[in-house]
Amino acid sequence: MKKIWILLAFLPELLIGQNPSAERIIEQIDRNMASKSRILTATMVVHAERGSRTMEMKVWSEGEKRSFTEYLSPARDKGTKMLKLADQLWLFSPSADRIIQISGHMLRQSVMGSDLSYEDMMDDRKLTDVYKATVIGPDVLDNRNCWVLELRAKAEDVAYFMRRMWIDQERNIPLKEEWYAKAGKLLKQTTLTDVKKIDGRWFPTRMVYKDMLKTGAGTEFIINEIKFDETIPESLFSKAALR
């Protein structure tokens, strides 16, 4: 039945033999992946030059604007919490008993030594608001038919001037992303695998982020459990919840 709906959605393009519009593809991704809220537990493995580090965490998020993260292990990081409210980010360290606001140039630093920066974590604007998207054409990635999208920045204040995305044509999920600087240099690469059907939607449960300017083999983010549209207490999204 779902296949029929997808077929109908892309029917106009199929009839005239053209690629679907980028806006339509992004809309389909949002329809598949977006949710009112998410609660997930995940394992983050940072493969640095001198070995790998594994962290366990629990994340509560509501839309794209609000999220609360608590690190569960290892012992050194246990109890570290992060709160994101729109464009503001706070961090609580139990060892120092301090709430520190992350802002300015610190946003470009890596999150817990991973290949992701706070800035990457903070970017919650809609892709279509920030980028002008075009479909480059079809491609095959890991035996899956994909659309390749190229997104060029409309706004000046974006961290990555150009993004290239490989979108699974059937499941409406990104399988690979490349983030470029204005000069055309590849800065970061993400691959999304282990796609599972959870609560009626396709969702990648393993993501590998690679900062191309860093040595090491990248950062794995593995979702162990994810729940969509659960009710999250309002009190969690406040600075009081950090301590």
Partner 1 sequence: MIRFILKGLLRDRQRSLLPVIVVVTGVFLTVFLQCWMTGILGDLVDFNARFTTGHVKVVTKAYFERIEQTPNDLALGETDKLIGSLQKEFPDMEWIQRIRFGGLIDAPDSRGETRSQGPAVGWGIDLLSPGSKEVERMNIKKSLVKGSIPSRRGEVLVSDQFADKLKVVPGDQITLLGSTMYGSMTVYNFTVAGTVKFGSSVLDRGAFIADIHDVQLALDMPYAASEILGYFNTNHYERQQAAANVTRFMAGSDPNDPYAPVMVSLRDQNGLSSMVDYMDVVSAIFIMIFVMAMSLVLWNAGLLGGLRRYGEVGVRLAVGESKGHVYRSLVWESVLIGLIGSVIGTAIGLILSFWLQRHGIDVSAFMKNASMMLPAVFRAEVTPSSFYIGFIPGLFATVIGTSLAGIGIYKRKTAQLFKELE
Q: For the chain, where are the alpha helices, taking DSSP H only?
A: 2-9, 11-16, 22-33, 118-122, 127-130
CB 215 within 8 A of CB 199: no
Using CB under 8 A, which of the segments 17-25, 72-80, 183-191, 195-203 binds partner 1?
72-80
Cα gap 61→63, rounded to integer Å? 6
The distance of closest approach from Cβ of residue 114 to partner 1 in the complex, given in angstroms and rounded to an integer, is 8
* 46 vs 167 by CB, closer to partner 1: 46
The distance of closest approach from Cβ of residue 108 to partner 1 in the complex, given in angstroms and rounded to an integer, is 11
* 39 vs 91 by CB, closer to partner 1: 91
Using CB under 8 A, which of the segments 103-111, 155-163, 176-184, 229-237 binds partner 1?
103-111
* 88 vs 193 by CB, closer to partner 1: 88
* 17 vs 51 by CB, closer to partner 1: 51
Q: Does the footprint of partner 1 cover residue 240 (CB under 8 A)?
A: no
DSSP letter for each residue of 49-103: TTEEEEEEEEEEEETTTEEEEEEEESTTTTT-EEEEETTEEEEEETTTTEEEEE-
Q: Does the footprint of partner 1 cover residue 129 (CB under 8 A)?
A: no
* 9 vs 212 by CB, closer to partner 1: 212
- Binding-site member from 97, 129, 156, 157 for partner 1 (CB under 8 A): 97
Output DSSP code: residue 184.
Answer: S
Side chain identity, residue 21: S
- Measure Cα distances from 147 to 164, 166, 171, 194, 202 in Å: 10, 6, 11, 19, 17
Residues 14-53 contacting partner 1, CB under 8 A: 46, 48-51, 53
Cα gap 234→205, rounded to integer Å? 27
* 37 vs 93 by CB, closer to partner 1: 93
Cα gap 114→134, rounded to integer Å? 30
The distance of closest approach from Cβ of residue 209 to partner 1 in the complex, given in angstroms and rounded to an integer, is 14
Q: Does the footprint of partner 1 cover residue 167 (CB under 8 A)?
A: no
Cα gap 69→90, rounded to integer Å? 11
Using CB under 8 A, which of the segments 7-15, 73-81, 190-198, 200-208 binds partner 1?
73-81
Residues that bind partner 1 (CB under 8 A): 46, 48-51, 53, 76-77, 80, 91, 93, 95-101, 103-106, 109-113, 239
